[in-house]
Amino acid sequence: MEVGVAKVKEAMLGNWESIAPEVRPSASKNPDGSLKPFYLKRAFEYQPSDRFELEIVNSADPYGAVQLARIEFGGHMLWRGPHPLARGAQKVDFVADERYEVTPLAHGFADVLNKVASAGYAPWAVNSSQSIFGKAFLPFGLEEGLNFMECDLVYLRESRSQMHFVVRIGTEFTLLTWRR
């Protein structure tokens, strides 16, 4: 293991949260054909032995006032070596190999889940979590028996109070900045 990776792991230990809502494209379109945005905030915990926990709260507005769903998952991080995008950045796979849960926070979202993700699940209800771990879940494109995995880049600034993740969405990169 490179010395750089050990330092990154040590500096990452603990809790991190989004400093502002992230804007993401949804599969839904506006009347003009443009993609409808949705928003999310993340709370991330990096633990010893390359374990992580992540909570994502999706909302319909940029201020998080209209929350739609809470997504929680945990598992392991697989370190894949230096990333050429930035000096000191590391390629990391986040594998949800321990748990994955979804909680509808709005009636409209629960109604949608009851239409598109009812097979193998109890009826979806507001503020009622269900495990989707290891199950097929069409809204997120999950297949039965496969763990969710996201390939990302981790980059920490010298201050140790901010962590940057670069996420590839299609062919574009998005910089996420989190704070302790």
CA 107, CA 20: separation in Å to the nearest integer?
Answer: 25
Percent of the chain with pLDDT over 70: 85
11: enclosing H helix or E strand: helix 3-12
Q: Looking at per-residue confidence, does 3 or 111 come out higher?
A: 111
pLDDT given for residue 110 in this prediction: 98
Q: Give domain 3-179's CATH number out of 2.60.40, 1.25.40, 2.40.160, 3.60.60.
A: 2.40.160
Q: What is the mean pLDDT of residues 1-23?
A: 79
> For 14-29, how does the pLDDT look when each residue is reduced to its tens digit (9 = 90+)?
888 888 888 887 777 8
> What would the DSSP string read from start to end of 76-124?
EEEEEEE-TTSTT-EEEEEEEEEEEEEEE-SHHHHHHHHHHS-TTSPPP
CA 47, CA 91: separation in Å to the nearest integer?
Answer: 18
Q: What is the pTM of this model?
A: 0.85
> For 77-90, how does the pLDDT look when each residue is reduced to its tens digit (9 = 90+)?
999 998 887 778 88
